[in-house]
Every structure is written in C-alpha cells, then in structure tokens.
Amino acid sequence: MLLLEIVFECGSEGFLRAFWCAGDEDSAMWSDSDVANDVELLNRMDAECIVQSLTVLPIEQVGSRKWLAQHANLEKLNLQAHYNTMVHCDEFVMLALTSHDKLGLLIQELLVIEIWKEKVLPHILTELAEQSSNINIHLVLYQETTIINLLEVLA
C-alpha cells in the first residue's frame, strides 16, 4: 500500500515547511521542502478569486491545460487551508468555498476523477507504458488526494 503523508510546521524563520513521506509501509522515505519557496501562500482576496474561478470541468477536460490550471489552484487552496488551520487563524478558504457554494463542485470533481479512473485509465494504460513521462496521469490521480485533503481540513 502506498503511503503519502504531509506534515506542516512553521520553521524558525516563520516559513511554512512541509515534510512529506511517500512509499510503501516498509520503504517510506521522508523529505522536506521549504514551501514558502515552492508555493506562494494566498491572501484572502487571492483565495476568493481562485474560489470564484473554480468551474465544473467535464470528464473530457481531465488532464487538459484548463484542468491543470484548476488543479494548481486547488493545490494552493489546500495548502492555504492547512496553513490557516495550523496557525489557528481566520479560515478564509473555507469561508470562500462555502459562501460561493463550491463544496458541491469539489464533490463533483471527486466523482469525475473516480469515473475517469474506472472508465478511461484502463483504456490508455498501454499507451502510458510507452511514454517516457506520465506526469499528467500522476496529477490526475493526485487530484483525488488533493480534494479529499482539502475537504478534510475544512471539516
């Protein structure tokens, strides 16, 4: 079973750091990264704009540029929501998602990814084996984790 665990902590310089563990139960490897250098945290207005821009994308759009842009925005919202929870500050990501009625959109995105994994992925596995890079497929599969993680922190 593949494990993916992310632990956030505030570093000595006040930057948010993420420690992540990936691997199976026997060979999990930990790493850390300075999230402040990798992902810019959002302010309230940025989060509000991102939430307003979220749209329902049909299954045909999964993996497209538009879908990848929305995935990146969901990642930013997820990171900000975790940071807000960690430092016990205003949970403006949750407020934006609920006030713009986007929680249903997140559930719908989960369902689209589930259907994509069940109906599309088996048909393209042969082609994927021939490609040298499967980064988009990884992001599609990671989208499910991102949304579930965001919903968990909002609960």
* Mean per-residue pLDDT pooled into runs of 10, the chain (155 residues): 45 44 44 44 91 94 91 93 87 93 95 92 79 71 90 85
Q: Name the pTM for this structure.
A: 0.70
pLDDT of residue 127: 77
pLDDT of residue 26: 47
Using alpha carbons only, what angle is made at residue 135 by residues 153 and 119, rounded to the nearest 5 degrees?
80
**Pair (71, 100) in one structural domain:** yes
**Pair (10, 77) in one structural domain:** no
Q: Would you give the end-to-end CA distance of the chain in angstroms? A: 26
Say how far apart CA 29 and CA 46 lie, in whole Å. 34
**Pair (104, 94) in one structural domain:** yes
Torsion over CA: 139, 143, 149, 150 (sign) = positive
Structural domain of residue 109, as residue ranges?
39-154
Say how far apart CA 49 and CA 31 lie, in whole Å. 32
